[in-house]
A and B are shown apart, each in its own frame.
Chain A
Amino acid sequence: MRPIDQLVLDENNVAFNPVVGNSYQVNDIAKEILIAIRHHKSKEDIINELTEKYDVSKEELFIDVSDFISKVKIYGLL
């Protein structure tokens, strides 16, 4: 199981990693991306879904989502 699958996401947008005891404060969109990754959606799928939902260009979302996924990897969650 990937560490990201074990994250406990609460209603206050806090993601708790029960394996090492770390907590991360995320915003609504970051939470959406985390949930999408947990559902094994590809980066492209995530970007497409967010493009349909929010008024942001695909290019901008590509940069932001890529950056977020990199951070998730740096934190050892993926």
Chain B
Amino acid sequence: MNIAISGLNNTDNPAPGIPVIKSLQDEHTLIGLSYDANEPGNFMGLCEKTYLMPYPSLGIQELKDRLIDIKEKSNIDAIIPNLDAELPLYIKYQEELENELDISLCLPSLENFELRNKNKLDTLSKTLNINHPKTFEISSIDELMECSKDLGFPLMVKGNYYKAYMSYNLDSAIDNFYKISNEWGFPVLVQEVVSGEELNLIGVADGKGELKGAVAIKKLTTTDIGKIWTGVTIQNDKLMNIAKDFVSNTKWKGPFELECIMSANGDIYLIEINPRFPAWVYFATEIGINLPKIVVDIMQGIDTPAQLEYPQNKLYVRYTGELVTDFTDLIKLLSTKEL
């Protein structure tokens, strides 16, 4: 298949595109979709061709026009979109893209996508009978003061889409409230702090209620901006069962990541559900669970047995690398929007 993959940033804030490409490069022809000519993935030589894309904020017509152009040139059969900013567009118009452009996708329904919004996770958690930290949706300082009386300190001040800050007193909570609302708008979420071990699980589901593959890890070290640097595989049956329940109840389709905290008494709290692969997905591939390949199998209608068994105690280590290429590559990408 000719598969287009987005998310080619590979800096200290890496996107999932490169690990997805590494997982699929042996069996498929891969085309990179980039939003920035400077993204390292544009020059790593992993894609047959790379195209610059219009920003998702420009809307569906711009996206469709660009994809029609790319399909003509590279005959793409499928797309794996990997970025939070573009996913709402791909999810909302997935049928249109599949039917009109004949491009396969493996994405959740819009209803499921919205179900895991941070301000709706409380409801979803109750439906699934999973613990979720007490969360308030606020849009004023008065409300912040009110809920801080209920929660006490420390508490988390979170954006509805991105960013979260721990606040140890009212002053820092107000400061963080403004930081978040200025950058990410309203509502702002204020959440109880649950202490324990932070665990992550990535999985792929088939849209019919079956979890087709999953790997759980614990992040051992992270960068200043919270990105994994080292991690270890774990075998946590409770977490795996939460993933299975989530998938069977929602009929989720495509990749997802569960961010959870396991408290000292063994209870698991669901903190966040990301509707995409994380950038450490190649860890799963390396230990025998090729989740991007499962996504491609689902797109092709190939029914494979669920892959939920993997070695525990495997260490993941991220590292930096360099490459040298011709400056003309960057100029060509900027001027022609393809490389």
Q: How many angstroms between the C-alpha atoms of A21 and B236 in the bound complex?
A: 9
Give every chain B residue within 8 A of A19 (Cβ-Cβ): 234-236, 262
Given A19-B236, A20-B218, A21-B234, also A8-B313 (CB < 8 A): yes
Residues of A within 8 A of B199 (CB): 20-21
How many whole Å from B199's CB to the nearest CB in chain A? Answer: 7
Cβ of B309 within 8 Å of any chain A Cβ, yes or no, is no
Secondary structure at the B interface, as helix, strand, loop or mixed, is strand
Tell me whether A20 and B313 are in contact in the complex, defined as CB-CB below 8 angstroms, given that A76-B264, A76-B266 are known contacts: no
Q: Which residue of A lies closest to B265 (CB)?
A: A76
Q: Tell me if A62 counts as interface (CB < 8 A to partner B).
A: no
Interface residues of A, count at CB 8 A = 9
Residues of chain A contacted by B236 (CB below 8 angstroms): 18-20
Question: B218 to A21, Cβ gap below 8 A?
Answer: yes
Min CB distance B130 to A, Å, is: 17
Q: In the complex, which residues of chain A have a beta carbon less than 8 angstroms from the beta carbon of B218?
A: 20-22
B262 touches A20 (CB 8 A): yes
For the complex, give the distance between the alpha carbons of A22 and B262 in Å: 12
* Contacting residues, chain B, for A21 (C-beta < 8 A): 197, 199, 217-218, 220, 231-234
Asked if B197 and A18 make an inter-chain contact with CB atoms under 8 angstroms apart, the answer reads no
Supply 18 A–B pairs (Cβ within 8 Å), ascending by A.
A3-B266, A8-B312, A16-B312, A16-B313, A18-B236, A18-B313, A19-B235, A19-B236, A19-B262, A20-B197, A20-B234, A20-B262, A21-B199, A21-B231, A21-B232, A21-B233, A22-B218, A76-B264
Given contacts A16-B312, A20-B234, A20-B236, 5 further A-B contacts (CB under 8 A): A16-B313, A19-B235, A21-B220, A22-B197, A76-B264
